[in-house]
Amino acid sequence: MRPTASLRLTRRLACGLLAVLTLTAPLAQAQDPKVLNVYSARHYPGDEQLYAAFTQATGIRIRRVDSDDAGIVARLRAEGAASPADVVLLVDAARMAAADAQGLFRPIRSAKLDAAIPPELRAAPTPQGVTWTGFSTRARVIVYDPLRVRAEDVATYEQLADPRLKGLLCTRSGSHPYNLSLFASVIERLGDDKGQQWLAGLVANMARPPKGGDTDQIRAVASGECGVALTNSYYLARLVKSDRPEDRRVVERVRVVFPNQATTGTHVNIAGAAVARHAKNVEAAIAFLEFLASPQAQEYFANGNNEFPAARGVKVDNPALRAIGGDGFKADPIPLAVVARNLSKVQQMLDRVGYP
């Protein structure tokens, strides 16, 4: 019997509490105005340069706690008002929205952020301010085997449910936030009834039960286990940049589509940041968020982890992103805050159609 949504949530919370116990030693409670406490779910090498650049520009040192999203959320809840966290970094709009719904973020106002980051990449504004902001984006793209699948048959997300792809589709878990955010976006467009039918069509087309991460899906297409799969763009870009022969062979065997270019645009997700609800160093925290929106920081996101800039007017030249067709694609403008409110409903639909 498949676990229900509530049981899966209980398990995730348990994992999060375990992660709290395995995090680094507690941060000092005394707040130094020249130290910013950052709880981060980002674990990318380029981010070290990002923190160093902020310190060099401001004189404010970064003291960081690293964990996964569940561990960070569980720690914030356990610490409550005593939490030393000033800034929270998470890697998905669904996760940002879930943490926000638990009251873990502090609304802020910033003219610089309002000017730099499009509203569709931020939480819906309230009279008190905005609670979370996206600072980099990643596209949810389709990879396919050109020997088995035609590009025109996978030009849209909706086509992934077409019976012509029966036995060819591979994905990671439907409940993973990367998929939840995509599914919530598609269902917002299709409506509930057609959206659930679409999810059922995905299940009917699966080559095997969902497993692994995004890179595993790309490798499965290259190996012939699958004919088509979903992945975030930066996973494919990493393989393009890799010097390992086996990664190069994977790239040579697959093709990529940025879906829905003739209709709604490709779904994009964010890595985002928020000021913690009980931040002690609010002024420095806002300064850090404003720095993340700067052209300098946006370049770190793009070149350090193959993400797309989120700030208006910022252009970067990453050969790997260019190689996969990431120059000038049409992104779905649907606000991620709208997508986030569909997440619980989508999880219930996944349970009903038997999407693991």
Q: Which residues of 317-339 are buried (b: 16+ CB within 10 A; e: fewer)?
A: ebebbeebbbeebebbebbbbeb
DSSP label of 335 = -
Structure token digits, residue 300: 């770190």
Please state whether beta strands 228-232 and 35-40 pair in parallel, antiparallel, or not at all (unpaired).
unpaired
Contact 264, 108 (CB under 8 A): no
Alpha carbon distance 57, 280 (integer Å): 21
Question: What is the DSSP track for 166-178?
Answer: TTTEE-S-TTSHH
Q: What's the CA gap between 3 and 176, in Å, rounded?
A: 14
Contact 279, 131 (CB under 8 A): no
Asked whether residue 234 is marked as a ligand-binding residue, the answer is: yes
Pairing relationship of beta strands 35-40 and 61-66 according to DSSP bridges: parallel
Q: What is Dmax (Cα atoms) for the chain?
A: 62
Two tokens at 273? Answer: 């940041």
* 8 A C-beta contact, residue 46 and residue 305: yes
The C-alpha atoms of residue 72 and residue 68 are separated, in whole angstroms, by: 6
Residue indicated by tokens 């060819």: 168
Cα angle: 197, vertex 198, 199; to 5 degrees: 90
| Number of other residues whose CB lies within 10 A of the CB of residue 126 | 9
CA distance 221 to 81: 48
Q: Which SS3 state, helix, strand or coil, does residue 299 take?
A: helix
The β-bridge partners of 255 are 144
Task: Tell me: is residue 235 an annotated ligand-binding position.
Answer: yes
Known binding-site residue numbers for Fe cation? 43, 234-235
Known binding-site residue numbers? 43, 234-235
